[in-house]
Structure 1
Amino acid sequence: MNRRALLLGLLASTARPAFGQSARYELENSLTERAKWRSFGNKDWITGDPIERARSGRARITTYELTHVGGNSPVARLKSLIALAEAGPKGYDAVHVGASVKPPKRPTQMSLGQILAWIKRTPGQPHAIGRYQFIPSTLRVLIARAGLSTKARFSPEVQDQLADLLLADAGLAKFQAGRMSRKRFMNNLARIWAGLPTSSGKSYYDGYAGNRATLTRAYFDARMREFFPKA
């Protein structure tokens, strides 16, 4: 091997991530813009997210059965739509289907601290949990933002409170005030919840180990027009 070929080989090997890190490397780089977009973007969120998105969650829904929980306001109905896309019939007690070691109790019967302890005890598996399928890094940040004690129960009320923070991040107030288009708000929601489709009709995470939107864009758009007819 001549000197030039050897030098090129060395450069290529140093520029490429190790084999075991390649998938994570590619996903972390693809999430760079999303991390900037999130109001609470941080290193822990970036490094913690890939394993949660590395395995698909709920399968594509073929029959929509939207059940409203928590009232009939536009925001409550939106949260029910998100729950349909993410959690399915188990709702507030849903756990990612890829979690081989499930929590010792129903999530709504556990404290936030117990859920975080379960996450810590079971590395290497997805941990999306609850009606809104919070992933660990997002959950930790939301708990801090909400000022909640780890002794607080992961109740439906607490889950809704945390989801409200994510809706605010997506621009709910601007959308309701007419300062953000429906399309943009929907795409922002799709950046948070993988089960919701972007304007392309695909999940923001489409292509990563089977991840795909569980709702069609047409259904998503129709429901948003129904919930927010004046927006």
Structure 2
Amino acid sequence: MRRQILALALLAVCTGLPAAALAQAVSLLGEGGIFGAGSALVPVRHAPPVMQDAPDTDEGAGPSLFAGREGASLFAPGTPRAERMRMREGRNGLGHGPAGLRLSGTSAFFAASVRDLIARAEAGSKGYDAVQHGARIPPPRRPTEMSIAEIYAWIKATPRQPHAIGRYQFIPSTLRRLVNELGIDERTRFSPEVQDRLADLLLEEAGMGAFLAGSIDRRSFMNNLAKIWAGFPNSSGKSHYHGYAGNRATMTWAQFSAKIDSIFPG
């Protein structure tokens, strides 16, 4: 306790903040506080990644497949998610919530390259306007011409059919979760930019930031991607969801590995 009091006083001197304010912050962090070994300053919540080609369901996916890998972030290494989610921007309808997640530099290049690979495995020639081929009743217009609210309305009006949509084949439960997490207004058009932003959040959940930081290896990152996008094979050579609702890998493990090597040389 004496050590904590001394450290608190030192923080107050260095930061200029009142000691009472720092004491309140420490009390909010729990028994370990900022002085406890291994404790995080801000807890990080990892939403569970959801297979993009799964049958539509509103049920939760259970605990995160990638829990415990919050040490690196695709968006801002070292920045807690709670702090990132307070960021905002005022363009393209994305400023109606915590959507201020923009990539730059090498992170943006790598993310764009991986997104191109996902599109090859999932969307085919339709790209951003792709709709799962099993949908008997397609959307009334091209997905990129529709608002997110209109896509939700199409999903509600056409039950008992697959609804995977867009370049990254978002299923309804995943689409809603990502839109809510980024705080995107439902009136926003389902544009290529919006789809890319949603996919980037899935890439973070797959551990791409951790992979770039060296916290996980290439094989683990590839298997994580395969747990989200059924078109990718895992290290067994088959889709992680092979045979489930007709899913299969659209490329071999060797092809997948070669593509990842070309994106991340060395």
TM-aligned CA distance change 1:49 to 1:194, over 3 Å: closer
Contact 1:108 1:154 in 2 (8 A): yes
Contact 1:94 1:129 in 2 (8 A): yes
Q: What is the aligned length? A: 173
- The residue that corresponds to 1:75 in the other structure is 111
- The residue that corresponds to 1:147 in the other structure is 183
Q: Secondary structure at the match of 1:140?
A: helix
- For 2:203 and 2:231, how far apart are their aligned partners in 1? 15
Which 4+ runs in 1 deviate beyond 4 A?
Answer: none
- The residue that corresponds to 1:51 in the other structure is 55
Q: Within 5 Å, which residues of 2 pair with 1:33-44?
A: 39-41=46-48
Structure 1 segments unaligned to the other structure (5+ residues): 1-37, 54-70
- For 2:149 and 2:179, how far apart are their aligned partners in 1? 10
Larger radius of gyration: 2
Q: Within 5 Å, which residues of 2 pair with 1:9-158?
A: 39-41=46-48, 50-52=54-56, 73-158=109-194
Is 1:181 matched up with 2:225?
no
Q: Which amino acid aligns with 1:84?
A: R
Q: How many angstroms does 1:77 deviate by?
A: 1.2
Contact 2:54 2:245 in 1 (8 A): no
Q: Secondary structure at the match of 1:124?
A: coil
- The residue that corresponds to 1:16 in the other structure is none
Q: Which amino acid aligns with 1:41?
A: P
- For 2:256 and 2:121, how far apart are their aligned partners in 1? 10
TM-score normalised by L of structure 1: 0.70
- For 1:39 and 1:190, how far apart are their aligned partners in 2? 18
TM-aligned CA distance change 1:49 to 1:196, over 3 Å: closer
Contact 1:51 1:124 in 2 (8 A): no
Q: Secondary structure at the match of 1:139?
A: helix
- For 2:217 and 2:188, how far apart are their aligned partners in 1? 36
Contact 1:197 1:215 in 2 (8 A): yes
User: Which protein is richer in helix relative to its size?
Assistant: 1
Q: Residues 58-103 of structure 1, C-alpha deviation per residue, up to 9 Å, x if partnerless?
A: xxxxxxxxxxxxx992221111000000000100000000000000
Q: Which amino acid aligns with 1:92?
A: Y
Contact 1:49 1:137 in 2 (8 A): no
Q: How many angstroms does 1:209 deviate by?
A: 3.7
TM-aligned CA distance change 1:51 to 1:195, over 3 Å: same
Contact 2:55 2:245 in 1 (8 A): no
Q: How many angstroms does 1:177 deviate by?
A: 0.9
Equivalent residue for 2:256, pick from 205, 209, 220: 220
TM-score normalised by L of structure 2: 0.61
Q: Which amino acid aligns with 2:218?
A: R
Q: How many angstroms does 1:215 deviate by?
A: 1.0
Q: Secondary structure at the match of 1:73?
A: helix
